[in-house]
Amino acid sequence: MKQLLFLPLALSGCLATFGQNEITVNADDAKQIISKQIYGHFAEHLGRCVYGGFYVGENSKIPNTAGVRNDVVAALKKLKIANLRWPGGCFADTYHWKDGIGPKDKRPSMVNTWWGGVTENNSFGTHDFLNMCELIGTEPYLAGNVGSGTVQELSDWVQYVNFAGESPMSNLRKQNGRDKPWNVKYWGVGNEAWGCGGNMRPDYYADIYRKYSTFMTGWSEGNIFRIASGANSSDYNWTEVLMKNIPGNMVSGLALHHYSVIDWNRKGPSTTFSEDQYFTTMQRALFMDSLIIKHSAIMDKYDPRKRIALVVDEWGGWYDVEPGSNPGFLYQQNTMRDAMIAGVTLNIFHNHSDRVRMANLAQTINVLQAVLLTNEEKMILTPTYHVMEMYNVHQDAKLLPITIKTKDYTLGNKKLPAVSCSASRDSLGVTHISLVNIDAKNGQDITLNLKGGKYAAVTGRILASGKIEDHNTFENPDKVKPATFNGAVLKGTTLTVKLPACSVVVLELK
């Protein structure tokens, strides 16, 4: 079994052919920090993400703390999720936060019109979420209701969670059992204002943002980080209009949403996809690099000092729901294809960390590209979870710039770069290099030139499997999991790596 896990040539379903690639790691040029906030996640009131995912209630037989699953807390602690976005998504612009505070039996219900038409009883609200973030050890990121809410409502929410002194909202918080404020830093001013958040035009939203943002200050010990509802994928005009019309002192981050979708009308299955469908998904994932470059160039015109962060607060793969499941719940399986999406996307974020300083995978549990799947008392870790756990060594480390020459992954007359890479050095001086080979058939020989680096040893971990469709199930939860990687050889300042097909590797050099 160890040979199947560790040795590249023994991976069934992947050919043993290797091609040559060259990467230069500039180990003597560490400058910018890879913000740990890139490793954020997203929890929307959608399907079984919150209810049955994070939250099962205090009376559940599933071990919990104040209704929050203990196994979920432990898994997310290990993952080191940096921030958690809530309550949406589209749901945020229908959510009125005062419905989710106070005694649970007195909270009013609502209908979740966006996601399945189910009744929301508001048993999981502000206190539940913020206390859960403390359990996990993550920063909360609250998405404010701009679409159907009011300026007063959002201003009151900021005061309720952040103000330590005497005020109507802080007194209400204390009445509801929380004396000290949570001091929430990250705030979204609406969500997808161009779509489900109100179908606004950019000029109109820019003015709305200015209005709401004006009344969101003054209630916290520190400055809050206000995030504007940014562009839908390649809508560069939206970014241009917002950067032109919103003063830099009123905004800390500009959002960007992009999903790796084959076709919005024909998304395709999550596990029985063809190689052609896989190729198109990876094409969409790699498009993130072009999006960041072009949106960043627009932002640079108005913000050359890069004070405003590009916040990719929704990203990931999106497929058809699992057969027999509620189409409004967006429940999908998670395969090695999703591991490839996660690996290349995080590498892209790292290499653009001068501008991308926050991101949120959609979504944490049971929805879209989830890191966890639950079924009653059972919980499994997905391939995406394993990639993000392997990669968390890059959090708050210094980026090491790279140059890369990669062979192509070809399918018919189509081609994509096969190898993706990023590198960093942490506070202890340890260097980590992340490598992804998206080629579904061919392994890759890689030569890495470690410019300016002096290392004595290399170790590594790999996530790979026999087929790109492989995934974990509740019956076989460990089919896909990380293993020791022995395919790297260090000689002086040269590192040679045999990277199997459809694999993710993280190397550690000391």
Of 44, 139, 192, 469, the catalytic one is 192
User: CA 156 to CA 153: how far, in whole Å?
Assistant: 5
Active site residue 389: no
- Write out the H or E segment, with its range, that includes residue 300: helix 275-302
Peptide bond into 283 cis (omega under 30): no
Q: Give residue 217's pLDDT.
A: 80
Q: Give residue 242's pLDDT.
A: 98
Q: Do the beta carbons of residue 394 and residue 384 sit within 8 Å?
A: no
Q: Give residue 18's pLDDT.
A: 56
Of 120, 314, 389, 469, the catalytic one is 314
pLDDT tens over the chain, length 510 residues: 222 232 233 333 343 445 689 999 999 999 899 999 999 999 999 999 999 999 999 999 999 999 999 999 999 999 999 999 999 999 999 999 999 999 999 999 999 999 999 999 999 999 999 999 999 999 999 999 999 999 999 999 999 999 999 999 999 999 999 999 999 999 999 999 999 999 999 999 999 999 999 999 866 667 899 999 999 999 999 999 999 999 999 999 999 999 999 999 999 999 999 999 999 999 999 999 999 999 999 999 999 999 999 999 999 999 999 999 999 999 999 999 999 999 999 999 999 999 999 999 999 999 999 999 999 999 999 999 999 999 999 999 999 999 999 999 999 999 999 999 999 999 999 999 999 999 999 999 999 999 998 999 999 999 999 999 999 999 999 999 999 999 999 999 999 999 999 999 999 999
Name residue, tokens 């992954």: 409
First to last CA, the chain: 29
Q: Give residue 2's pLDDT.
A: 27
CB atoms under 10 Å from CB of 330, counted, come to 25
CATH top-level class of 2-31+400-509 = mainly beta
Region 36-396: CATH code = 3.20.20.80
Neighbouring-strand partners of residue 41? 84, 361
Name residue, tokens 């980026």: 399
Peptide bond into 87 cis (omega under 30): yes
Neighbouring-strand partners of residue 300? none
Name residue, tokens 């790796």: 260
190: closest CA among 214, 217, 154? 154
**476: which residues sit within 8 A by CB, 6+ positions away?**
none
Percent composition of the chain: helix, strand, coil (DSSP 3-state, to 5): 30, 30, 40
Active site residue 314: yes
**75: which residues sit within 8 A by CB, 6+ positions away?**
371, 372, 379, 381, 385
Phi, psi of 249 (to 5 degrees): -80, 0
User: CA 84 to CA 42: how far, in whole Å?
Assistant: 5
Rounded to 10°, the helix 151-162/168-175 angle is 60
Whether 36-396 and 2-31+400-509 are alike in CATH topology: the answer is no
User: CA 438 to CA 419: how far, in whole Å?
Assistant: 7
User: CA 56 to CA 54: how far, in whole Å?
Assistant: 7
How do 309-317 and 356-362 pair as beta strands? parallel
Q: Do the beta carbons of residue 451 and residue 28 sit within 8 Å?
A: yes
For residue 497 the two structure tokens come to: 């790596």
88: closest CA among 185, 197, 173? 197
Name residue, tokens 């609200």: 125
DSSP 86-135: ES-SGGGGG--GGGGSS-GGGPPPEEETTTTTEEE---S-HHHHHHHHHH
Phi, psi of 462 (to 5 degrees): -135, 145
Q: Do the beta carbons of residue 422 and residue 398 sit within 8 Å?
A: no
User: CA 373 to CA 366: how far, in whole Å?
Assistant: 5
Locate the domains of the chain by residue range.
2-31+400-509, 36-396
- Write out the H or E segment, with its range, that includes residue 337: helix 336-351
CA distances from 385 to 14, 276, 380 (A): 23, 25, 10
Q: Do the beta carbons of residue 437 and residue 499 sit within 8 Å?
A: yes
